[in-house]
Amino acid sequence: MARRERIDLETSGGETLATREDLRALLDEWSTTFSERADGRDVMHLMLSFPADVTPEKAGEIARAVLPEIASGRDWAFAVHDDTGHAHIHALVRMRGPDGRQLRTTRDVLHRWREATARTARERGVALEASPRWARGRGERGERAWERAMRERGETPRRHREAAREAIEMLDRKGSAATRYEQLIAATGKRERGELAALSWALLADARAASGEQRDRLLRLADAAARHGEALPEARTRRQALAAIAEEKRARGERVDPDSVSEAFARQRDAAARAREGSERGRDIGDEAGKKSPTTGTPVATSSDQSAERTAIARHKAWLATRQARRDRDRDPGRDPDD
């Protein structure tokens, strides 16, 4: 925020701060309760990201509603940005309250904040995930706006080069770029897929015992659970993704260095982002086709019940076959289970 000429920061006192000088004045005011310890944490920075269809105004409304609960009586301020294609919030929270007590940030507290944010968003018609990234089997962080701007100018951000260098060195030294944390991510991703498969089968069983609109709704939910499981990305961190690219380049006899590996990773990420955008547009079109007619209340374009059930059963059979193949592969005694 401090790099911007105009910051448009809204405070818990109802003020709007427009410039960097205003931000410095706010922090000077907050500094009266700062710790004298060199390693003391006096101000916490939080970032809340929203889906692409959420407007900056809606994001600001959600932040305004949830930050008092997060700050627990302490001062806070936030700014809304949409320079990444998705509205997101940068929030500052004063760690020490009027009573002199420090704000606790344990794992349980952070989880409660995520749940509070998701609940507040749902109350305003926005669906947010309350689980941390690693619990969804996702280890990679998103790219920062200034890093993407550097890449668009043909430059490689230093952080990307350093991550690629670390991945290559770890691969050379250990033959693998997976730490214990990354092994946990992989195991969590497998568990998520298993739970989604069980959920989709349970919904399908309920659908076969139901009829009418309830049956259609359960079939759609079963299909959505299966689709979500199929769409879960491979559970790996940025370092593992970089190491995989380095291995592929070596297998092809290509040059392997931090610059070439980080550039290949960026191209891979851009391609994945374009594919996701295309998939989301396709889902939107499908949703429109499945809406009911405003005059008759009947579906505009849907298959017959029997066809929908056959499609759902076929999808679930394919899903089970994929899961069984993964289990067989994991039981292979000659294979590292974390590969």
Q: How far apart are CA 201 and CA 219, in angstroms?
A: 10
Q: ∠ CA 146-149-152 to the nearest 5 degrees? A: 155
pLDDT given for residue 304 in this prediction: 46
If we measure between CA atoms, which residue out of 263, 271, 234, 232 comes closest to residue 246? 263
pLDDT of residue 80: 92
Torsion angles phi and psi, residue 292, rounded to 5: -85, 150
CA angle 68, 73, 75 (to 5 degrees): 80
Q: What is the mean pLDDT of each run of 10 residues along the chain (339 residues)?
A: 65 86 86 68 86 91 94 92 84 88 84 90 84 54 65 75 83 67 65 79 87 88 78 67 85 88 82 62 44 38 49 60 56 40
Could you tell me the two tokens for 192? Answer: 């998520």
pLDDT of residue 319: 59
Measured distance CA(11)–CA(318) in Å, rounded? 52
Contact 70, 76 (CB under 8 A): yes
* Ramachandran class of 92: left when φ > 0, alpha when ψ lies in -120 to 50, beta otherwise: beta
| Residue 66 tokens, joined | 């949830």
Q: What is the identity of the amino acid at 278? A: G
* DSSP letters for 211-248: -HHHHHHHHHHHHHHHHHHHHPPP---HHHHHHHHHHH
Q: DSSP characters for 65-95?
A: HHHHHHHTTS-EEEEEE-TTSS-EEEEEEES
Structural domains in the chain, sorted by start: 6-130 (3.30.930.30), 145-288+306-330 (no CATH)
pLDDT, position 177: 55
Of 194, 201, 279, the C-alpha closest to 229 is: 194
Q: What pLDDT was estimated at residue 307?
A: 59
Confidence (pLDDT) at 64:
94
Residues 6+ apart with CB under 8 A from 13: 75
Identify how many contiguous H helices and E strands the chain contains and give both numbers.
10, 5
Q: Is 177 helix (H, G, I), strand (E, B) or coil?
A: coil
* Residue among 109, 128, 125, 106 nearest 117 (CA): 128
